Amino acid sequence: MAITIKNAQQIEKMRYAGQVLGEALHELRKLVKPGTNCLELDKFFIDFITSKGCTSNFKGYGGFPAHICISINEQLIHGIPRDRVLQDGDIVSIDAGCVFEKYHADSAISVICGNSKDKKYDTLLELTEKSLYLAIDQVRAGVRIGTISSTVQKFIEENGYHLPTDYSGHGIGLEMHEDPFVPNVGIENTGMRLVPGMAICIEPMVQIGTNKTVVADDDWTVSSKDGSMTAHFEHTILVTDGDPEVLTLFKPKEETE
């Protein structure tokens, strides 16, 4: 896919898709509790975004059978929601996307269900999310992709965690996945320069024990090869002439009025 530069009208559509998605994930976070069935989360999501005039961009993508990805514990990404009840202490990663008038948004969160089994799991989520926001802080016109990538890599590896290299962030717009690739590892001041009107997804995917992964027999679910715990956070970000705009950041209604 080519890189697309969005005009004001297109950005407004992506902004709406992003706000709907941010609110949907905010509500899903509250539903992650012991006893919740993963199929309930999938149904809640599609009902919610449909009520807001949006559609799912995951369902049917490459044959994916659900509206969101739910990856649990050692599952890193692309987990298929199944008839599975969440347990106390599960690390639940939810990756979701939606479309408004052909324009896409994509975001992911990781949540500990109920009570954490180990403080190191809380730290895993905290550091993974922090690496995302450190990378977002680098998003400026003229900055190279490698600077974003190296920001994630340096922070995560300095803290003793691991980044799989087979999966990356991406551009987004008329398609869910567009150029450029936005890896989680890289060299500062290398790669393509960002320009205003580009939209990218930054998505650190972090594992405690290894950077190696395996794909399940369903051909979708990606897990850590050693079975260690994982976390995944993602936002859709617009490059502007100034500070970056996080399109999928949840904003309560009183903040948007």
Residue numbers in the known binding site for a divalent metal cation are: 95, 106, 170, 203, 234
Cis peptide before 65 (omega within 30 of 0): no
Binding-site residue numbers are 78, 95, 106, 170, 177, 203, 234
How many helices (H) and strands (E) are present in the chain, helices listed first? 5, 14
CA 215, 63, 41, 256 torsion-angle sign: positive
Tokens 């920001």 map to which residue? 151
* Eight-state DSSP code of residue 229: -
CA distance 66 to 193: 35
Q: Where are the beta strands (DSSP E) in 29-183?
A: 55-56, 68-72, 75-77, 91-100, 103-112, 169-171, 178-182
Annotated binding site for substrate: 78, 177
Q: How far is CA 68 from the centre of its chain?
A: 11
With H, G, I as helix, E, B as strand and everything else as coil, classify residue 23. Answer: helix
Q: What is the DSSP letter of 234?
A: B
Sign of CA dihedral 52, 53, 59, 61: negative
Determine contact, residues 122/229, Cβ cutoff 8 Å: no
